[in-house]
Amino acid sequence: MGPLKPVVFSDFDGTITQEETFVGILRKFAPEKSRELIPRMYDLTLSLKEGVRILLESVESRHYPEMLEIMKNAPIRDGFNEILDYLDSRKTPLIIVTGGLEDFARIALRPMLGKIHSIFGLRVNTDGPRLSVISEWASDTELVSKPLILETVGKSVSANPPVLIGDSVTDLEAALSCPVVFARDRLARYLQERGKPFLPFENFFDVRQSFSEMFPVES
Ligand SMILES: [Mg+2]
């Protein structure tokens, strides 16, 4: 067997961004429905598939430019630019899988897009009075099925093994079947409750450190 060629899949909101940017935007532009539905998605009594669609499709399309403007200034977690350089130098692809909108990730990360392999998530159509969701990666339970993306895209990019970085409920299904998981915040608690091992992190310097120890580059 040759050297391991990992592929890194990272969540976006609350993982690459310092805060839960997507949830923040939903709360701002769909306040009533957010109050009702977001707690139910967190306690896992409402599926992400239903919840995220209802929330996004209750937002008026005229707000979309304003949403993008907010994302332009989303604070990025420490060490992200540095880990991109590190992964780039060892030819390890970083793929973003977001349970939110691809556009939000693209605009927030526009200076670094050249170092990101690809971005998968939701798209929206803004032609009607309200946003309408376009999801190419839905499963029975999720609008964006991260396990499906990990399997499909992971195979096309490299043989193995996938590494997942995440912070919350949208990462849970994928994390449970992923051999190496970096987790913080809610995801860390969900995994602890389920007895699934993970590496804790607070910033991307932590991730780079553990990653370089787990997957040393052959010299
Ligand atoms: Mg997240």
> Which pLDDT tens digit goes with each residue over 34-72?
999 999 988 889 988 899 999 999 999 999 999 999 999
DSSP class of residue 165 equals E
Kindly give the distance from the C-alpha atom of residue 219 to the centroid of ligand 1, in angstroms, as a whole number. 35
Residue extents of the structural domains in the chain: 7-214
What mean pLDDT comes out for the span 20-44? 93
Kindly give the distance from the C-alpha atom of residue 166 to the centroid of ligand 1, in angstroms, as a whole number. 6
Kindly give the distance from the C-alpha atom of residue 170 to the centroid of ligand 1, in angstroms, as a whole number. 6
Rg of the chain in Å (alpha carbons) = 17
Tell me which of 3.40.50.1000, 3.40.50.300, 1.10.10.10, 3.40.309.10 is the CATH number of domain 7-214.
3.40.50.1000
Kindly give the distance from the C-alpha atom of residue 214 to the centroid of ligand 1, in angstroms, as a whole number. 24
pLDDT at 3: 60
Which tokens hold the place of 43? 């306690």
pLDDT band of 1, cuts 50, 70, 90 = very low
Residue 51 contacts residue 38 (beta carbons within 8 Å): yes
157-188 tens-digit pLDDT: 766 678 999 999 889 999 998 999 999 999 99
pLDDT at 35: 96
C-alpha–C-alpha distance, residues 102 and 113, integer Å: 12
Provide the CB-side half-sphere exposure for 27 (13 A, CA): 8
Please name the residue ranges forming H helices in 73-203: 80-89, 102-108, 146-157, 172-176, 185-193
Kindly give the distance from the C-alpha atom of residue 73 to the centroid of ligand 1, in angstroms, as a whole number. 17
Q: Which amino acid is at 74?
A: A
Kindly give the distance from the C-alpha atom of residue 117 to the centroid of ligand 1, in angstroms, as a whole number. 19
91-148 tens-digit pLDDT: 999 999 999 999 999 999 999 999 999 999 999 999 999 999 999 999 988 899 999 9
Kindly give the distance from the C-alpha atom of residue 161 to the centroid of ligand 1, in angstroms, as a whole number. 21
Q: Is the pTM of this model over 0.85?
A: yes
**Interior CA angle at 97 toward 36 and 33, to 5°?**
10
In terms of C-beta density within 10 A (0-12 exposed, 13-18 middle, 19 or more buried), how is residue 160 classed? exposed
